Structure 1
Amino acid sequence: MVVGLLFTAYQLSDNEGTGVNAALSLLIGSALGIAFERGRFCFFCIFRDAIEDRDTTPFLSILSAIAVGAIGYAVIFGQFLPDTSSDRLPPNAHIGPVSTALVVAGLAFGIGMALSGACISGHLYRIGQGSLRAYPALFGSLIGFGLGFKSWNTLYSKSISDAPTTWLPHYLGYGGSLALTLLLLALIAVVAIKFGKNSTPLSNPVATKIDLASLRQSLLINRWRPLTTGAIFGVIGTFAYLRIEPLGVTRQISTTSRTYFEGQGWIPQNLDGLDLMAGCIAVVSTAIVNNGWLILGIVIASFAAALAGNRFKFQQITWRNAITALVGGLLLGWSSMIALGCTVGVLLSGTQSFALSGWVFFATAFTGAWIGIKLKLHKL
């Protein structure tokens, strides 16, 4: 299977219609798929463990990903935009407007995670683990994106058009922004560790001797350490931004939705200001965009990782949890369209790029998940 991915990437790199970016996207998606599956890097599961079980060890992986990615982004930004005093923003970085619509979208995304059982990236890698519930959730997100396009112009005129696009280096420079980010992450980590009364150990037991059996156990069976998993995501995110675009998993889904619904005449052809913004922005296209190859890599690589660790198993689906997954997916799609991305495209890529919008989405998505968990929506 790994050989098949590498061969496909080679074929894509040699294809004039797709090019090197498609090949790199497939390889980056493959790396993400392995890291998602082996690190159990599902935002909702991480939030649920912290809120419901008071196990905050997995939560540290998110903080680690932001920290490592922020360091990498700061280095790259210094090459693209050495002068932060101007009004310019780094090219393609996911720095979005901070508006009431973003707050509502973040809350809706958190509730959608609770209803469907995962975020969009979580559903993608869980397909590789055999999740049948991921299919209605992702189908719901396609429809949800359509509802987002339908409501965009109204929300844009009332809330988003005049909202500030706050990029911390404009005020603090790269050094100050990085220092503030790392300080904030450290404070959150301290609070999380104190709150985590039932937290699992931060690291797995070290094998007495290193051999093939212990390596297989560490790489394929045991859950990867949270700080290591987060660091891997930070490195992948930095590389993705340097070579192609910031990490995100919704551009292909939103592109498919926009192309179909616009073709049916169900959404406006003119979406005010959208195409000028930064984020997981949809285009009208029937071709697979780079993000589509990244998604394919996530699904196939997570399947390979699950299969190698004997974790692949078709999970039971019922009419009840299929409906909650569909409704949750609707919320995930709508909110991802309004927020211009999801937990990967806005929360990770946004905070790593020192965008205030990333932190607002982090806080509101966590709050939405907390509301959903307290209402026991994840148990419906």
Structure 2
Amino acid sequence: MPDPVVVRGGVVDAPAAPVAARHEPTRPTRADLVRTGVALLLLATLLGAAYVVHGLEVAPGGSVAADAAVLLLVGAALGIAFERGRFCFFCISRDFAERRDADGLRSILTALAVGAIGYAAVLSLFVPDPTAGRLPPEAHIGPVTPVLALGGFVFGIGMVLSHGCIAGHLYRITQGAVRSGVALVGTLVGFGLGFWTWNRLYLGLIGNRAPETWLPTSLGYGGALLATLAVLALVAALLGRWPSRSTTPPRVTGVVGTWRRLVVDRWPPLLTGVVVGLVGVASYLLVGPLGVAAQLGSVTRSVLDAEGALPETLHGLDAFAGCATVVAGAVIDNGWLVIGLVVGAFAAALAGGRVRLERVGATGAVAALVGGVLLGWGAMTALGCTVGVLLSGTQAFALSGWVFAAAFVLGAALAFRFRLQDL
């Protein structure tokens, strides 16, 4: 029998890659086939839904139908990649903090590198002359301010305390992670706190002084790409002191081997990074940058607006690029991506037998709720999260992406230092 999936502190971990001494089943069981069949049916239903949505008239304030259909598919691809490759910023950070396992960090570096190369090609189509002073359309190039750094720092602490970033919670809830559900509730509350504190932060620290620094403006595409790859290569070299711990499962050929590699065995870190990077580039080319926070923030903003609890004016908020929130009575663009992500991740987890309902104690639930509040406040204040600002921003050569990344790492490191992940 294969090793069971282990639930560690609210995180559903895939079993360790098998070693040659173990006797792995060469054929899937009937239960495996049923789960895989249901997962394929889910994905087929998603494809059908995308086709139907493509031909619908979407309500005012909602998404353009064609974009919604594409976003469903992009989200599904992202959810599958996240789940199959365990592309979870908390899991990856915890592996390094506790066991000095740097494989997940290499996966992130790969995603950033592949995305930067792809973005350079796409951006050159949208803005042929980057030195002319015009920013590319919809790219997540945010203001570089102390508020951005504060948001990233708080987000990092919230990630460790809640056991996941927003994207991680969205995909891990499909594995049965009850803690992730609690954290997402806290995230909605955190967005509300962010709206209430925004005006004071904007008037005191942002205003009209905030530069939206885009590296190609001064370096050109070639220089910005080389600088980005150089930084990533430097980080990769620093991680070189910790050898890869990835192991290759025993080779199983034929249909069974293909099935295991696709749905059972964890995808290699570098492959996962390549897939995530390519999905990000495709998303920007077709519909816009990746991000998972805008729909959640829009839910909170809409509820507060309906209750008359939203500030009458949110100074400058809607003028900035990033995971923008709106008052809407329908699913916005980002909502379709989130739906696709959840369905794709659930299909992948179900097919691989990784759906396990976890148990969460009172302490863990409180930690998840408080951590979620910090996630929501940090994401609203920084205009995005680890996907929308760190991945999409950095890949688009936005200085704001690097500032968020540095502050996020500092916040997470501090939280790990005080063992907040043990709560």
1:186 equivalent in structure 2: 233
1:364 equivalent in structure 2: 407
1:138-182, Cα deviation, whole Å (9 max, x unpaired): 011111011111111111111122122111101100000001101
1:152 equivalent in structure 2: 198
CA distance in 2 between counterparts of 1:160 and 1:238 reads 30
Query: Residues 178 and 206 of structure 1: is their aligned pair in 2 closer, same or farther, counting only changes over 3 Å?
Result: farther
Q: Does 1:204 align with 2:245?
A: no
Q: Which runs of 5+ in 2 are unaligned?
A: 1-41, 59-63
Q: 2:103 aligns with which of 57, 67, 74?
A: 57
CA distance in 2 between counterparts of 1:377 and 1:60 reads 24
1:77 equivalent in structure 2: 123
Aligned residue type for 1:377: L
RMSD of the alignment, in Å? Answer: 1.2
Q: CA deviation at 1:299?
A: 1.1
For residue 214 of structure 1, give the secondary structure of its aligned residue in structure 2: helix
CA distance in 1 between counterparts of 2:135 and 2:392 reads 14
2:267 equivalent in structure 1: 224
CA distance in 2 between counterparts of 1:267 and 1:193 reads 49
Query: Residues 159 and 206 of structure 1: is their aligned pair in 2 closer, same or farther, counting only changes over 3 Å?
Result: farther
1:8 equivalent in structure 2: 49
Q: CA deviation at 1:53?
A: 1.1
User: Alignment identity in percent?
Assistant: 51
CA distance in 2 between counterparts of 1:352 and 1:271 reads 28
2:84 equivalent in structure 1: 38
Q: Does 1:103 align with 2:149?
A: yes
> Is contact 1:128–1:301 with CA below 8 Å preserved after alignment?
no
Larger Rg: 2
1:338 equivalent in structure 2: 381
1:4-33, Cα deviation, whole Å (9 max, x unpaired): 111111110111225111111111111011
Aligned residue type for 2:213: T
Aligned residue type for 1:366: V
Q: Does 1:167 align with 2:208?
A: no
1:21 equivalent in structure 2: 67
Q: 1:268 aligns with which of 311, 317, 341?
A: 311
For residue 128 of structure 1, give the secondary structure of its aligned residue in structure 2: helix
CA distance in 2 between counterparts of 1:192 and 1:223 reads 21
Q: CA deviation at 1:205?
A: 4.3
Q: Does 1:176 align with 2:219?
A: no
TM-score by length of 2: 0.87
2:171 equivalent in structure 1: 125
Q: CA deviation at 1:206?
A: 6.3
CA distance in 2 between counterparts of 1:216 and 1:317 reads 33
TM-score by length of 1: 0.97
For residues 301-312 of structure 1, what are the structure 2 equivalents within 5 Å?
A: 301-312=344-355
1:248 equivalent in structure 2: 291
Runs of 4 or more, structure 1, over 6 Å off, are none
Q: 2:188 aligns with which of 118, 139, 142?
A: 142
1:331-359, Cα deviation, whole Å (9 max, x unpaired): 00000001100000000000000011101
Q: CA deviation at 1:267?
A: 2.3
CA distance in 2 between counterparts of 1:87 and 1:157 reads 26
CA distance in 2 between counterparts of 1:173 and 1:93 reads 16
> Is contact 1:57–1:193 with CA below 8 Å preserved after alignment?
no
CA distance in 2 between counterparts of 1:231 and 1:278 reads 25
For residue 283 of structure 1, give the secondary structure of its aligned residue in structure 2: coil
For residue 202 of structure 2, give the secondary structure of its aligned residue in structure 1: helix
1:171-196, Cα deviation, whole Å (9 max, x unpaired): 100000001101110000011121x2
